[in-house]
Structures are given as structure tokens and as C-alpha cells.
Amino acid sequence: MRYGQGVALVLAAGSLWSLMGLGLRQIEAASVWQILFWRSVGMVPVLFAFIWWRSGGRPFAAIRKVGLAGVIGGCGLVFAFAGAIYAIQTTTIANAVFLFTASPFVAAILGWIILGERVGRWTWVAIGLAVIGMYLMVREGLAMGELAGNIAALLSAVGFGAFSVALRWGKVGQMLPVSMLGGVFSVLVAGLVLTASGEPIVVSGWDIGVSLGIGAVILALGMVMYTLGSKVIPAAELTLLSLIEVLLAPMWVFAFLGETASAATFVGGGVLLAAVVLNAVMGARAQMAQTLPDGGLANRARPVNE
């Protein structure tokens, strides 16, 4: 797979995930943990079917092969999902969304320490632009305090960064089971939280159906594309490209549900888009610079954007 194809897959994954807000607006009464439970239940069988297909009918062998990277990545995804939910419950949405932009920093640091993936100057510039763009989008809703929610948002960013690094850790193999393990772990965690809090797991048929649909279509298919794209994109760039989700999500609810969007949202969104485009263009240039004399691409962790 070429770098450009990987970028297209990751951008498509983020664009698909951005539709989640529209889906969640259709929920009538289910709580966030009930949604997480049924959303994950919907995601797991779809990912299992993809693993079955790509492994030639040997899904459990493929799952075992991911080893430690799979367990770490799956746990990271639980932190990403659960941390986001807790953050949205206990802090402002603006605070949560802004702190989610820490994921490229986490991926950059972990990718360098664990994988030896150096992060070049243009990637750091793009990450900085993304933070500025996100700040412009949500600055009117930022609030001081609310420490627990802010910590949860940072843990969510750390979890997604760790998940992305785990995908790169096993980039030469089949890493889709990592996403499926994250779904399985999320079902278990959400079920435990609901049981401990006395909330019922079973909700209305409508809410279960919507949550299952979000998990099976939006989340699962996005995970497939994101995982495939991760084979050729370093972890820091990977998480940065995924921020297209945050850019598009408010645009969809503005366009289809009539929810208001301020001028700052569009200005900040423009800066965030510039960061994503800069990351993709400079990453492609760096990959082209490493083209071998015979026309093949270097099959190694590249020093990006140098």
C-alpha cells in the first residue's frame, strides 16, 4: 500500500466517525454507558467477520498473533472510549474536545520511544496548527476547573495515541484484531459500570438498534479503514489525520440538524483543515523522497518530514 492510499483510508475513517454525532442525536433515553455497551456489541461481530475473511477462515489464530501489542492497543481503545464518555459527563464538551488534540503528541512520543519513528519539523508544525484550530473552534466553551473531567479527556487522548502506536507496532502483520479486542474490552467495562451503578443494560429497542447501527457501520468500518491505513503512516501523523473527525462533526449537525455554529467554529475548522492537509502533503513528499532507485518504497520506519 502506498502512503497516499493510507492517507485516503485514514481520512475516510475520520470522516465516517464524524457522523457519530448525527447518530447519537437519534438516541431517545439511553445513557452514555448504555450506548457504549451496545455500540461495542454492534462493532465486535463486524470486525470479527473482517478478521475471518482476511485470515482465510482462521480468526482466532490471527487474534492470538497480535500478542502484547493487541492487548495494549485494546486497553488503549477502552481508555479512549470510556475517557471520552466520562469527560463529556463531567467537564464541558469544549474542554474535552480541546484536550483530545493531545493524542498526536502522545502518539509522537510513544512512537519515537517504542518504534523509533522520528517526528519531523513539519509534523510538529501541523500538530501546533491543529491545537490552534481546535482552540479557536471551542474557546468560547472552555472553562477552568473540572479537574476530573479534564484528566479523563487526557486519558482518552493517551488511550487513542497508545492504540495508534500499537497498530504501528505490528504494522507488518494483521492488526485488525486490536480494534476488535478494544470492542470486547469496552463491552466488559461498560457492563461492569452499568451493573455497579444499578443501571439496566437493556434499554428501548430503538436505542439499542441505533447504538448497534453506530457500532456496526460507523465505528467498525472506520476501524477497518484506520487500521489498514496505519500500515504506511507513522503514529503521530496517523492520529493527526484522524482529527478530521473533530472538524467535520459540528459541520454535519449544522447542515442536517440546524444546530448553530459560530464564525469561530468555521475559522478554527479552516486552521485545523490546513493542519491536516499540511500533514498529508509533507508526509507524501517525505515518502517520495525515500523512493528506491528501482521504484519501490523503503519498507522501514522512516524519519518523517525531514
pLDDT of residue 94: 66
pLDDT of residue 202: 96
pLDDT of residue 287: 78
Domain boundaries, the chain: 3-289
* Burial 198-220, CB ≥16 within 10 A → b, else e: eeeeebeeebbebbbbbbbbbbb
Chain centre distance of CA 119: 19
pLDDT of residue 303: 39
pLDDT of residue 301: 43
- Mean pLDDT (10-residue bins), the chain, 306 residues: 91 92 86 92 96 91 88 91 80 73 88 87 90 83 73 89 87 79 95 95 95 95 93 90 86 78 80 90 82 46 40
pLDDT of residue 304: 38
pLDDT of residue 178: 92
